Structure 1
Amino acid sequence: MSADHHEEETAMTAAPGRTGVLAQAREQVLDRGEGLSQEQVLAVLRLPDEHLPDLLALAHEVRMRWCGPEVEVEGIVSLKTGGCPEDCHFCSQSGRFPSPVRSAWLDIPGLVKAARQTVETGATEFCIVAAVRGPDSRLLSQVREGIDAIRADGNDIRIACSLGMLTREQVDELVAMGVHRYNHNLETARSHFPAVVTTHSWEERWETLRMVAAAGMEVCCGGIIGMGETVEQRAEFAVQLAELRPHEVPVNFLIPQPGTPYEDFDIVEGRDALRTVAAFRLAMPRTMLRFAGGRELTLGDLGAEQGMLGGINAIIVGNYLTNLGRPARQDLDMLRDLRMPVKALSETL
């Protein structure tokens, strides 16, 4: 063996090189279904642009092998908008910032109508969201009344909720209502969280998610890319999410909101967004990875298709909480063109 060959082999063993990390990921993630470590995710995130097509192709192979071809489609609606007491720096719904979003409640007929419209898009998931630290008795009563009204309307769509941090008793109440999945995003890596939110801790969010999982609800937990985190912190975030073993991870990209501390932040560059999506897939091969807010701004139409071919297997259609998405029909047409079947409601029950 030559000295040069020996040095190359040693370097690959110690820390996979740019092409070596993809070969290692193919054997580890694609063949065995084992997610990448934090060091490996970081190596993926540092891959240069010329390796992006190979990375996306591998992430798509992983998605197809461990999740299958179906795409889960979801619609979301805000039951209580604005006026939140927390200071999440990315959020225009915080009552602490001079953003244009004002507090408002959606009535029960409006909730039923939104659920009906969501079903008409072909979606199988309907998520009821509220901008609160955590639900009070009034909010939980409205959620209960809303779910009852949706069912009375003959709508059997699966219902998820995102209502902030919970107590054990509130978790049990939601289970009794028939809520099958709960969303509570960790938002970013534990080491970066204090720079994003100061009114509550990352650990408080983690505890809610732990109780949700223990109660038998599916855990939906993701975050936002582009909030000033380093590439090392993106890798940290990926493995922290993997440790949680969530059923679903929504991937958002920062939309700089007027009046918030992040209003002047740059939009995530499209190639970095796609690289991050693929890295998350390689960290969580069996998890539902959902395109969420900011994808239209960051990726555009072509990028959305690349993401669907780079590890994504779920999508939110229509509008987001305080931002316009693109028409649901456009996303459904994209899935048809890509020959990706939409998961049927009967398959999710």
Structure 2
Amino acid sequence: MTTTEAPVTTDPTARDILDVAREQVLQEGQALGYEQILQVLQLPEGRLPELLELAHDVRLRWCGPEVEVEGIVSLKTGGCPEDCHFCSQSGLFTSPVRSAWIDIPALVEAAKQTAKTGATEFCIVAAVRGPDQRLMAQVAAGIEAIRAEVDIQIAASLGMLTQEQVDQLRDMGVHRYNHNLETARSHFPNVVTTHTYDERWKTLSMVREAGMEVCCGGILGMGETVEQRAEFAAELAALGPDEVPLNFLNPRPGTPFGDLDVLPPAEALKSIAAFRLALPRTILRFAGGREITLGDLGAKQGILGGINAVIVGNYLTTLGRPAEDDLDLLNDLSMPIKALNDTL
């Protein structure tokens, strides 16, 4: 996909992109394409309220008012052999994250605490290139123990998979598998060099073919251009994931991206709305970095600008908002939390 030749519309007779989106996305449910997404991202900041309102209307029309709540836990932290430039869990950087595992009782307790928030989804995450036999055995034991005590959907994020591992996770009852593409194909080599975009895409394809739900998103603010941000949204739309977690770079000391600037709030909100118009029926989840990028006011604007899911509590290596704050916000906005039986 070409990302450098899309012209900015200057024809005075051309239709306004938001008018086009109202008809195409809101009324017909047809996603915006690459050049249209780019036009949205290039809108002046003064049109942000109008854009957010439209994205919220699209979310209500095609996804409904419910918000899906999820918690995550790191089963294996740190010591990853990959060089994802944003990640303090890479063993190749000087980031202060020690390699550690949690045991099964701690995993079950984390699932219990997640369920108490009203969350329907609990994701088991490991910092690895892909799971080895030990990790797969630990995940299987953890899922069995969680199912014995907690009524919650279980997702997993364990890196790149073989077909055998995909089948094993499906048979364990994993409901949804997360594997982020992270950024646009054209920008990916600037973010990761130890594996390829196509390797990630292959895992996602196998997950879908096995019948698990696909969760795939990325991180905005990693030095990508606006054109590449539009490219990424269009690539996700082509993949058609069930869920897209939107993260915003929270620069981590000791990583190659540790000195990058945080994405400006207006750009982050514009991106949220653009991704909603590119993915009108997809679960669009607030994930890491939203606290530092948007703050409390921005979180409210994002939920009123296309978001329909949140991760509550802490992330893998950074602190999130207290779960109670997110739940209070949803209550204040009269947005019901999706019930477990609506996700089965």
SS, match of residue 214 in structure 2: strand
Distance in 1 (alpha carbons) for counterparts of 2:37 and 2:83: 30
* Aligned match of 2:276: 281
How far 1:207 moved relative to its partner?
0.5
* Aligned match of 2:45: 49
**Where do residues 183-202 of structure 1 align in structure 2 (5 Å cutoff)?**
183-202=178-197
* Aligned match of 1:111: 107
Distance in 1 (alpha carbons) for counterparts of 2:148 and 2:332: 36
Distance in 2 (alpha carbons) for counterparts of 1:159 and 1:257: 28
The answer to whether the aligner puts 1:125 opposite 2:135 as a matched pair is no
SS, match of residue 11 in structure 2: helix
* Aligned match of 1:5: none
* Counterpart code for 1:129: V
Q: CA RMSD in A?
A: 1.1
- Per-residue CA deviations over 1:178-230 (Å, capped at 9, x if unaligned) read 00100000000000000000000000000000000011100000000000000
Q: Give the TM-score taking structure 2 as reference length.
A: 0.96
How far 1:11 moved relative to its partner?
2.4
Say which of 72, 83, 99 aligns to 2:95: 99
* Aligned match of 1:143: 139
- Per-residue CA deviations over 1:129-174 (Å, capped at 9, x if unaligned) read 0000000010000000000011122x12000000000011100000
* Aligned match of 2:337: 342
Q: Give the TM-score taking structure 1 as reference length.
A: 0.95
**Where do residues 173-252 of structure 1 align in structure 2 (5 Å cutoff)?**
173-252=168-247
Distance in 1 (alpha carbons) for counterparts of 2:227 and 2:279: 17
* Counterpart code for 2:108: V
Distance in 1 (alpha carbons) for counterparts of 2:162 and 2:338: 32
How far 1:10 moved relative to its partner?
9.6
* Aligned match of 2:69: 73
Change (3 A) 1:32 1:103: same
Say which of 152, 156, 171 aligns to 1:157: 152
Distance in 2 (alpha carbons) for counterparts of 1:81 and 1:36: 38
SS, match of residue 116 in structure 1: helix
SS, match of residue 190 in structure 1: coil
* Counterpart code for 2:96: P
Alignment size in residue pairs: 336
* Aligned match of 1:4: none
- Unaligned runs of 5+ residues in structure 2 are 1-8
Change (3 A) 1:10 1:280: closer
Distance in 1 (alpha carbons) for counterparts of 2:148 and 2:157: 22
SS, match of residue 11 in structure 1: coil
Distance in 2 (alpha carbons) for counterparts of 1:29 and 1:219: 22
- Unaligned runs of 5+ residues in structure 1 are 1-8
* Counterpart code for 2:244: V
How far 1:127 moved relative to its partner?
0.1
Distance in 1 (alpha carbons) for counterparts of 2:112 and 2:85: 33
Distance in 2 (alpha carbons) for counterparts of 1:233 and 1:205: 18
Distance in 2 (alpha carbons) for counterparts of 1:217 and 1:176: 10
* Counterpart code for 1:293: G
SS, match of residue 310 in structure 2: strand
Distance in 1 (alpha carbons) for counterparts of 2:190 and 2:20: 34
Distance in 1 (alpha carbons) for counterparts of 2:10 and 2:65: 38
* Counterpart code for 1:186: L
Say which of 66, 82, 85 aligns to 1:86: 82
* Aligned match of 1:28: 24
How far 1:325 moved relative to its partner?
0.4
* Counterpart code for 1:139: L
Distance in 1 (alpha carbons) for counterparts of 2:270 and 2:298: 11
Distance in 2 (alpha carbons) for counterparts of 1:151 and 1:64: 32
* Aligned match of 1:324: 319
* Aligned match of 2:11: 11
Distance in 1 (alpha carbons) for counterparts of 2:130 and 2:32: 33
* Counterpart code for 1:26: R
Distance in 2 (alpha carbons) for counterparts of 1:93 and 1:282: 33
- Per-residue CA deviations over 1:248-294 (Å, capped at 9, x if unaligned) read 00000000001000111000100000000000000010000000000
Distance in 2 (alpha carbons) for counterparts of 1:195 and 1:147: 36
How far 1:12 moved relative to its partner?
5.8
Distance in 1 (alpha carbons) for counterparts of 2:219 and 2:54: 23
Say which of 272, 294, 301 aligns to 1:299: 294
The answer to whether the aligner puts 1:39 opposite 2:35 as a matched pair is yes
- Per-residue CA deviations over 1:53-98 (Å, capped at 9, x if unaligned) read 0000000000000000000000000000000000000000000000
